[in-house]
Amino acid sequence: MKRWLILCLLIVIAAGCGRPDETSQPSIFLIPEGYKGWVMVEYDKDNGNPSKTEGDYTVFKVNEQGVGKTKTLLSGGWARNKYFYVNKNGERKQLKQGKMIHGTTQGNKNHTVTYFFVGTAKEFDKAGDYRRKLTEESSS
């Protein structure tokens, strides 16, 4: 009996993990080369830029201050996003999560926002939570 209960629980968990409505269209974030610190991307902004697509990915650009604003709505769910440094010539260098990308979160006040930190793990530990500061600077 105990085995059946465990088997049923595992099936329910596996079925819940595979629901298609929990996946999101993945994003590419283009970050100015050399930028380090918190990044904030605001979605569904009237003064935002239209986003482009590359294959299955929606592309979002971040400015020199670590802020991106887009008219695009963020679809909910899990996605495997990509992060790139971009130099003046448009050449990209991919940044890996856990090495140079940390603390990825999403929030929703008046609009949806994605935050993440660009830098080493040591820099991330020292940086503290500057997401509030980015939000305040963006609204002024």
Average pLDDT of the segment spanning 78-88: 90
Q: Where are the beta strands (DSSP E) in the chain?
A: 27-32, 37-42, 52-54, 57-61, 67-69, 82-86, 92-95, 101-108, 112-118
Taking only the tens place, the pLDDT of each residue in 30-51 is: 999 999 999 999 988 888 888 8
Lowest mean pLDDT: which of 30-34, 53-57, 73-77, 102-106? 73-77
> What is the pLDDT, as a whole number, of residue 6?
54
- Amino acid identity of residue 35, one-letter, is Y
Q: With 50 as the cut, is the pLDDT of residue 7 above it?
A: no
Q: With 60 as the cut, is the pLDDT of residue 65 above it?
A: yes
The model carries a pTM of 0.74
Collect all residues with Cβ–Cβ distance below 8 Å to 72 and sequence separation of at least 6.
43, 44, 48, 50, 51, 58, 60
